Amino acid sequence: MKSIPSLSLVIPGEVTAGAADVVILASFSGTTASSESLGEGLPAAVRRAVGRLLGRAGWTGRRGQRFASEAREPGSQEGALVELEGLGEAEDFNLRKLDRWLREAVERARCNRFERVYLVLPDHEVVRHAGAGAWLGRSLVAAAYRFDRYLDPSEERHQIGELRVVAPAGSPAAESENLVRAVANGVVQCRELGNTPGNEATPEWMADQARQMAEELGMEATVFGPEELESRGMGGILAVGAGSANPPRLVRLDWGSEGPVVALVGKGVTFDTGGISIKPAKDMDEMKYDKCGACTVLGVARAVVELDLPLRLRVYVPLAENMPDGNSYRPGDIVRCYNGKTVEILNTDAEGRMLLADSLAWASEEDPDLLLEYSTLTGASVVALSQDAASLYTPDDEMAAGVLTAAEHTGERLWRMPLWDEFVDRMKGNHADLKNSGPRWGGANTAAAFLSQFIDGVKSWAHLDIAGGAYVGRDSDEEPGATGYGVAFTVEWLRGKAS
């Protein structure tokens, strides 16, 4: 598995000026920052450099302001560049602004070809909250990760060799290096899988990646091919995959012997043309990201096992490629799913819910205490919330509150949406129990209602439509590609359940 640069957390007293090429600090505007307060615990040479920068004419700490000076102990040939950057008003500061500053600081260090980077987090309440460790793991990946394995290896691209994050002494971020590293590893895996194109990331390839991860981490892995899927009556997965030369798979991972039983289900459409109801050509290349739900649950699984959380974890990953072909399922077909319910196909591009129908029914049958499902399910969720957030559907108020709090703590936006009875009524079929596509309005809501019909007996369950957060399109001002959305807040929430 790919990793980000050598990463460690240190407290200020462990910093030495000669061990870094650059030390990056930040200060708020309107404060009486001094070299003693801002550089507390840092080497004397660094504090002197900070003092020089704070004393320069024009320094106010406004957002985007940046001064630099060299730090070198007397008589030493080794030193570091000290960069002081402004963050604006402290009362207006939040995790999203901290994310942005961290990404920009790391990118400048990369562009300046620094090898050893110390990044000093500002001492602010957003760094001291309980979920700061999981947030930091996610944010460091956002700053340092690049998907570059298809680029010309002979072309030099500088990568930071060592990234040391200096967290305020006594803060959760400073005391949770294992958590930071586990979340970072989970997010990197999620992004690597998500970014891999469909010509490589077939259902079989994804299943092999899951199997390799399971072998590495000591998880039990089961993989079903078409014959096993047919014998189990999983018609939804088989229907979606019928038109592809790459047959579908269903992966189940099992780990742990104590604690609550947690089921994670992730939609894995390795490429989505829409099938017979084919999509417009524009932006269809982004449909390699339709497997990001599967990537999320695999990333969460890696982090949970690396943290050795006392949970009994079950992961269900349905995988299929939705292609138009003489064998493809058609509008008007009626498909029988694992729990016996029949579904009338109105639109073959509403394929994700067909994969999830079989998987959710199987996961529910195994009676978990908690069930979470992740899918890039609907464009309607993106219309409602933009690409800045994902939709949360759950009938369990306590579960909703816990997951939303975890998302707030890790800087991932999530919004609870309604599960009203009339949404189920709108998904009733004419000639089958259900139909796979509903009316125009509220498409994310009716999709969630459809999925609820395959969850039986599980009180604490949630559907997360992550279409808005799972990836960034090429027209965005951020790094394009899979984001690893959902790994951090899920791990943070599960830590609470495990304790």
CATH value at residue 217:
3.40.630.10
Would you say residue 144 lies in a domain?
yes
d(CA 420, CA 64): 46
pLDDT digits (tens, 9 = 90+) for 187-211: 999 999 999 999 999 999 999 999 9
How many domains, the chain?
Answer: 2
Would you say residue 135 lies in a domain?
yes
Would you say residue 441 lies in a domain?
yes
Neighbour-count burial of 83, counting CB atoms closer than 10 A to its CB (0-12 exposed, 13-18 middle, 19+ buried): buried
Reply yes or no on whether 279 is catalytic: yes
Would you say residue 250 lies in a domain?
yes
Measuring CA to CA, which residue among 378, 381, 375, 380 is closest to residue 359?
Answer: 375
pLDDT digits (tens, 9 = 90+) for 253-282: 999 999 999 999 999 999 999 999 999 999
Name the pairing type of β-strands 390-393 and 461-465: antiparallel
Please give the residue that has the higher pLDDT: either 441 or 132: 441
Does residue 11 carry a pLDDT above 80? no
- Domain limits at 219? 181-498
The pLDDT value given to residue 6? 61
The pLDDT value given to residue 219? 98
Same domain, 59 and 202: no
d(CA 483, CA 405): 20
Residue 442 half-sphere exposure toward CB, CA atoms < 13 A: 14
Same domain, 111 and 192: no
Same domain, 346 and 446: yes
Would you say residue 91 lies in a domain?
yes
Active site residue: 191, 267, 353, 413, which one?
A: 353
Reply yes or no on whether 146 is catalytic: no
Would you say residue 198 lies in a domain?
yes
* Tokens read off for 383: 């219309």
Same domain, 326 and 431: yes
Same domain, 105 and 200: no
Q: What is the CATH number of the domain that holds 133?
A: 3.40.220.10
Active site residue: 72, 279, 312, 336, which one?
A: 279
Top mean pLDDT of 5-14, 143-152, 264-273 is at 264-273
Task: Count Cβ atoms below 10 Å from residue 80 Cβ, excluding itself.
Answer: 25
Given 153, 175, 197, the domain boundary residue is 175
Please give the residue that has the higher pLDDT: either 441 or 129: 441
Angle (CA) 485 487 492, round 5°: 125
Task: Count Cβ atoms below 10 Å from residue 43 Cβ, excluding itself.
Answer: 21
Residue 142's pLDDT band (cuts 50, 70, 90): confident
